[in-house]
Amino acid sequence: MYFAVVGAHVRGKSASPAMHTASFKALGINAVYIAVDVPKEELGCFAQIARLNFRGFNVTIPHKEEVVKFLDALSAEARAIGAVNTVLVERNLMVGYNTDAHAVYKLAGGHMEGAEVLILGAGGAARAALFAAIKAGAKKIYVKNRTAERAEALAREFREKFERPIEAIPWSGAVKADVVINATPIHDAVIADLTGASLYVEFVYTPTPRTKMVEEAERLGVKVVDGVDLLVEQGAQAEKIWLGVEPDRAVMKKAVLEFLGL
């Protein structure tokens, strides 16, 4: 069986091949997992190759929204989110799922219930985080993105779809929240005020899970769910979808940390 992660500049940088390879070995499953760099204009071509040759694949920046148009079906959650990060190929049909949302909800849902949540970003990861916050019962959700129009469009879409209080705020604007989620690739700057927050959630794990925002959270005594935690949890859920197994998350996390040299 063949699996892959597809995105921009993932070869040699994504920890997913190391993580899943270690997990497959521990499970006694004969499978190969590779990283494939796929430009946006070649995503459709890759999808056709995957349809005939792969059992499943993961999708990362910048294809989580774009890949939807090449799939045969979506899970109910992926359809509501409007983004896919995990694809199951079965009988040459491709079904999209969103295990990012599962991971955020599982690791941060308890903190988001009745809370104010700030989501940084407006792409596929932000969509997953927004859905998880809604599912958890957040009291109010703020969306903040460098391109204001994207933040406003995303907030409006989910506000109308789910009838929940969701507000876009300017990138330069300041808002304090109980839970802050960084769904951007920014790793080298403090991009939100964490004062008073109870939890910080970070999607970024490379070049290091100790991003500037993670360091800021630790300085302030804010609990952290880092990019490695999220990667492992969404990856474990992907393996359950692909293979119907319950993988060992400790094995997966050890492989990620070794890949990162930690």
What residue segments make up the domains of the chain, in order of their start? Answer: 2-97+229-259, 101-225
- Retrieve residue 168's tokens: 């876009």
- Retrieve residue 229's tokens: 């935690």
Residue 262 confidence (pLDDT): 92
The overall average pLDDT reported for the chain is 96
pTM of the model: 0.95
Express each pLDDT in 145-168 by its tens digit.
999 999 999 999 999 999 999 999
- Is 64 tagged catalytic? yes
Do the domains spanning 2-97+229-259 and 101-225 agree at the CATH topology level? Answer: yes
- Fold of domain 101-225: Rossmann fold (3.40.50)
> Catalytic: which of 64, 106, 135, 253?
64
Looking at 3.30.70.20, 3.40.50.970, 3.40.50.10860, 3.40.50.2300, the CATH number of the domain 2-97+229-259 comes to 3.40.50.10860
Residue 174 confidence (pLDDT): 86
Does residue 237 carry a pLDDT above 90?
Answer: yes
Residue 101 confidence (pLDDT): 98
Name the one residue in this structure whose structure tokens are 């319950």. 246
Does residue 173 carry a pLDDT above 90?
Answer: no
Does residue 120 carry a pLDDT above 90?
Answer: yes
Q: Give the distance from CA 173 to its chain's centroid.
A: 24
Does residue 35 carry a pLDDT above 90?
Answer: yes
